[in-house]
Amino acid sequence: MSLSQRTDRFSGVGAILSIKPSSGTPMTSVNSYIVTSRGIAPNVIHATNPIHKPGTTTDLNANSIFFEPDVSIGSDGVPTFSQLVIDTSNTGATFAVSQYKEYFTVTEPGVMTTQGFFAQASNKGAAVRTPKANSVPQSRRKLGTVDVSLSTSNDSDAEVAYQNNGVAWASVTMSNFQLDTADASANVSASFRTFNNYLRSGTSSDSDTASATVAGVYANTSTSTMTGDTSYTTTGIYRSQTVPFLKKIDGTQTYLKTNVTFA
């Protein structure tokens, strides 16, 4: 039987039964409470007879946000309401409700460059360039700030810190030219490699030439050419997630947006 069908069995006078801090959704930046009442919903009572904060004579803010209540009907036909309320003066579409610190595991990219070697004799010589890792990728725990906000928007924010999408990892093209004038012979070879999770160092060693030459006998050279990004974004929003929350008493759907940010 609906509430409207049972309303003739109680007088319509509401009474607050209890008000206690909410533990379901911890909020560090605002106070939230679970209010139970009998006969009339807490938000209706608060509109004409302000509800006090627990253990005080201080009223909840006039702009406090009330969410749709749970309603149960007793055997006497009188409804009992349980309603979440956020004690706030903020009337904006989005406002902060919680902030805390937490460690997250991130991976710092390595740095790749190249190095050259050569060997010479009176009638033969060779030169080569190879990749060289200045540092390797390392995972570590990093302290981030977690901000939780209540919003009527279901949008999440752009994630920018430690994001691999769009990163041009280090790549190297290496070529070897061997010209032996005395033997009237020549040889050429080349290779290409990409190093995921490595940045390019951005120094002159990335693209250089190693050579071994004796005029009129041989001229052997090896060249390396690197491409890729030299920087990586490690600050800003790392994670942004938006999940549905409760509906306000007027039916507006709300969402909790959680952002993890690295300074």
* Tens digit of each residue's pLDDT (9 = 90 or more) over 203-260: 999 999 999 999 989 999 999 999 999 999 999 999 999 999 999 999 999 999 999 9
- Picking from 257, 254, 256, 250, the residue whose alpha carbon sits closest to that of residue 152 is 254
Q: List the beta bridge partners of residue 248.
A: 67
Summarised one tens digit per residue, pLDDT across range 135-158 is 999 999 999 999 999 999 999 999
Q: Report pTM.
A: 0.82
At residue 122, the pLDDT reads 87
Q: Are strands 70-73 and 138-151 parallel, antiparallel or unpaired?
A: unpaired
Mean local confidence (pLDDT), 37-53:
95
4 pLDDT higher than 60: no
**Residues whose CB falls within 8 Å of the CB of residue 236, separated by 6 or more in sequence, listed in order:** 160, 161, 261, 262
Residues found in the chain: 263
CA torsion sign for 62, 65, 66, 68 is positive
Burial of 73 (0-12, 13-18, 19+ CB in 10 A): middle
Residue type, 100: Y
Domain boundaries, the chain: 3-91, 104-227
Tens of pLDDT along 109-138?
999 999 999 999 988 999 999 999 999 999
